[in-house]
Chains A and B, each alone.
Chain A
Amino acid sequence: MTLKEGKTGMTLKIKQIDDSSLKERLMTMGLTPGTKVKVLRAAPLGDPIAISVRSYNLALRRADAENVTVEQVG
């Protein structure tokens, strides 16, 4: 699955970041393979989403989250 399908409360482990113009920025912000993220909540209408990663909170659009492949671990 990808981070795009993440639902509130899910803990996800990042497997891979697909090539996109945002890839380097996402990785710089701490979204590296092996890192665990938690989906905290969604904005009204469900997009963007807020996630907790490396002890801080980050908001991103689902369209950009589609490039992050994850597996659910909790």
Chain B
Amino acid sequence: MATIAVALTGNPNTGKSTIFNELTGARQKIGNWPGVTVDKKVGYARHQDRAISIVDLPGTYSINARSPEEKIVIDYLMNNKLDLVMDVVDSSNIERNLFLTVQLLEKGIPLLIDLNMADDAERRGIKIDCRKLEDALGMPVVQTVGRSSKSARKLLDIFTSTVMSNYEPSQLVKDHIIKVQEIEASGKTESEKQEEIIEARYALIDTVIAQAVTMSNVGQTKSEKIDRFLANGVLALPIFLAIMYGVFMITFEWIGQPIADALDSLINEDFLDFATDALTDAGVAEWLVSLVCDGIIGGVGAVLTFVPLIFVLFFCLSFLDGTGYMARIAFIMDPIMRRCGLTGKGIMPLMMGFGCGVPAIMGARALDSEKDRMVSILVTPFLTCGAKLPIMALFAAMFFPDNAANVVFAMYISGVIMAIIAAKGLGSSIFKDKGSTFLLELPPYRMPDMKSVLLETWDKGKGYLVKAGTIIFAASVLLWVLSNYNFDGPCEIDESILAVLGGWMSNLFVFHGFATWESGAALLSGIMAKETVVATIGVLYGAADVSTEAADAVESAGQMMQTGMATSFTALSALAFMVFSQLYTPCVTALGTIKKEAGGWKWMAFSAVYMFVIAWVVSLLVYQIGRLLGF
């Protein structure tokens, strides 16, 4: 028998994705809708010997085709032969949710209506009579409670047994459709028609609600009480800072870092020793041992040890998002973000930027105005991503041993300040004429579904693994070749191609105090991946096993002090180097993401160049002003 084709549609925050995850488990494929940067999720299930394919359409409030998501939903539903379309409705918010339902019915799409979070609604005193709702709309109705295998089985039973062509809209809905057609045919202006149609839809919804829903003592909800602390006035800000402090502690101190350390010693000690011995014993040529061990394992290993931090940070942020708190952060931070030329909704992607710029840039998809999205994409790379942190930590430990933590913190702040200045600048120049709005649902607080949180974490973090396997792998091999060869064959590192390239690059930094070919080469390698800056410096100054982990910075600094690095930088030129590293051109992976998300080579080139120029200028100012002040 043929596969049953099902599509899920519904508003955001209805638990639709949780149902999708529950129905399909890990049998999902996440791709992109053609031509736009919106996730396409397809999953598969088997039930009673029938194969079922399920598409999770983007959550939307309407299908006016104003946003890419809305366009995808309506195009997909109109142009594909589907056996069943399920409209997931949040029962505790049924009025507004039915708006999309009515719009879909107007398009002649038969719907299975899923009243999700039925338990939630009941607790709030909202009782929905399924039978009466079926009669009022003419469509089948089912109740579910979000994450439960019983609900999932119930839905699969319905998917395999229901024939949607047996249903047709009720007289009430038919009358409404005729009314809408009359409005369409009237000679009024487009905006008048839209207004009347929207009012007609809500009038229909009010009639349906009156027939099928009873609301008793819908008093103050639990979410309301929580919001009096978490989203109210000035008190909300310190609570937000405390929660963020907790997230960063979990990531960089309590959970993420210990795992990263364990992985580091596993790869860079145990596995590296094992690989070196095994290859040497097998009689492999010395250069190949060096390529594999110093080049590939060193380079890829440096990135892999960073994976736990990324995943823990993204887990925390996805978890907060699942509870509904992220919407509150957007709400309370909007006044501040707006004054910085951004929007409150941009806070979640920006916070991801402290982990890795790539998902942060992709996260800007969630912003609804073009201006907010572009500005967010272009300023995110100024932030101190996890890969820049080791650079800061090493230099701070070497040249500012008494103030290391403060200097690293100052670098974080300099990134944030630069992002704000750039956002202001871009907002009032290139994107001056584009408006910014802020319209955001504050969903009820809920305990997030762990399966969905984990899937989302994986989805956001996996790009990092791919990067380790592709770009970093290639960059490691390339760097190894460049630093071990020149055009006459194998050579010492200071005669290598890398030394020549670094020498050229260093001409740019004559007035910055770090015009050495070593720093030139390190910065050049940093465009491939920021992780390699510290590794390159280590190799160039002849301290082979310098750890690229921030946590080992003091130890690494001790090693590096023995090398020529201690004398090639002064404290001031080290600071100028740190500032430059903090602000200059993003890594190629981030640039590739910018090209994809901002829509073109133009923006990618723009971002590479403008960040380089800003970094060059700021770093120059730091060095020259520092000299004038006598440092």
A contacts, CB < 8 Å to B: 17, 19, 21-30, 32-33, 35, 40-48, 50, 53-61, 64
Chain A residue numbers with a CB within 8 Å of B440 are 58-60
Chain B residue numbers with a CB within 8 Å of A26 are 439
B195 contacts chain A at the CB level, 8 A cutoff: yes
A19 to B189, CA, bound (A): 12
* Contact, CB under 8 Å: A56 / B96: yes
B276 contacts chain A at the CB level, 8 A cutoff: no
Chain B residue numbers with a CB within 8 Å of A30 are 95-96, 99, 202
* Contact, CB under 8 Å: B66 / A59: no
A63 to B: closest C-beta gap in Å: 9
Looking at chain B's contact residues, the main secondary structure is helix
A56 to B223, CA, bound (A): 11
Chain A residue numbers with a CB within 8 Å of B94 are 55
Chain B residue numbers with a CB within 8 Å of A64 are 437-439
A26 to B224, CA, bound (A): 22
16 more A-B residue pairs beyond the given contacts A44-B237, A61-B437, with a C-beta to C-beta distance below 8 A: A17-B195, A19-B191, A22-B439, A27-B199, A30-B96, A30-B202, A35-B202, A44-B336, A46-B335, A47-B335, A54-B96, A55-B93, A56-B93, A57-B223, A64-B438, A64-B439
A1 to B52, CA, bound (A): 54
A28 to B202, CA, bound (A): 9
A41 to B94, CA, bound (A): 23
B96 to A: closest C-beta gap in Å: 5
Chain B residue numbers with a CB within 8 Å of A58 are 439-442
B88 to A: closest C-beta gap in Å: 15
> What does the 1/0 interface line of B193-218 toward A look like (CB < 8 Å)?
01100110010000000000001001
A30 to B334, CA, bound (A): 22
Binds A, one of B156-164, B225-233, B377-385, B459-467: B225-233
Looking at chain A's contact residues, the main secondary structure is mixed
* Contact, CB under 8 Å: A59 / B331: yes
B431 contacts chain A at the CB level, 8 A cutoff: no
Give the top 6 A-B pairs by smallest Cβ distance, nearest first.
A57-B442, A54-B95, A45-B335, A56-B93, A27-B198, A59-B440
B contacts, CB < 8 Å to A: 61-62, 64, 66, 92-96, 99, 126, 191, 194-195, 198-199, 202, 215, 218, 223-224, 227-228, 231-234, 236-237, 327, 330-332, 334-336, 338, 344, 435, 437-443
B61 (CB) vs chain A CBs: closest residue: A28
B140 to A: closest C-beta gap in Å: 24
A56 to B336, CA, bound (A): 25
* Contact, CB under 8 Å: A55 / B334: no
Chain B residue numbers with a CB within 8 Å of A27 are 194-195, 198-199
Chain A residue numbers with a CB within 8 Å of B437 are 21-22, 61, 64
Chain B residue numbers with a CB within 8 Å of A46 are 335
Q: Which of A25, A40, A47, A55 contacts B92, CB < 8 Å? A: A55
B90 (CB) vs chain A CBs: closest residue: A56
Chain A residue numbers with a CB within 8 Å of B338 are 61
Chain A residue numbers with a CB within 8 Å of B344 are 43, 48
* Contact, CB under 8 Å: B331 / A29: no
* Contact, CB under 8 Å: B331 / A43: yes
* Contact, CB under 8 Å: A32 / B198: yes
* Contact, CB under 8 Å: B231 / A24: no
